[in-house]
Amino acid sequence: MLWIVLAIALAIAEAFTATLFVAMFAAGALAAAGAAALGAPVLVQAIVFAVVSALSIGAIRPLIVRRQNSALEGGESSFGLAALEGAQATVLEQVDADRGMIKIDGELWQARSFDGTETYQPGDHVRVVKVRGATALVWRDDLPHL
């Protein structure tokens, strides 16, 4: 049960980091949960966690990152948080260096000014420059709105 709780907590943490690093530990925790379900001792469970996590980080993560980068270079649609970069958004609550709220394709996102000096008012249109965790860093949108 502990391994499942750990896997869920790590998966939630990955949602805030979007680095595909923490998710590899979540996979290790799920593998350890499988070992626990088969009656393996705690030491074996810990070894399974470590081995699966290390293999995931060393083998699977580079493949996913490479696929994501080649998709971006090849002009294919990006996925995950990378797909939000460049998206147009509307300011719902004032956005400055410390706080703000925007709407991207119907979804609400916390936002901050990209350079920390700009302030955007509700109704302003901005463009997502970068996503850090669950916060979009935005800049003035000078492009026509669709």
Q: Is 146 part of a structural domain of the chain?
A: no
C-alpha 70/C-alpha 22 separation (Å) is 22
* Pairwise CA distance, residues 6 & 106, whole Å: 31
Higher-confidence residue of 58 and 133: namely 58
Q: What are the tens digits of pLDDT across the range 46-91?
A: 999 999 999 988 887 677 667 666 655 555 544 455 667 778 889 9
Q: What is the pLDDT of residue 117?
A: 86
- Are residue 61 and residue 90 in the same domain, yes or no? no
- 145 located within any domain: no
Whether the model pTM is above 0.85: no
Domain end call among 45, 73, 101? 73
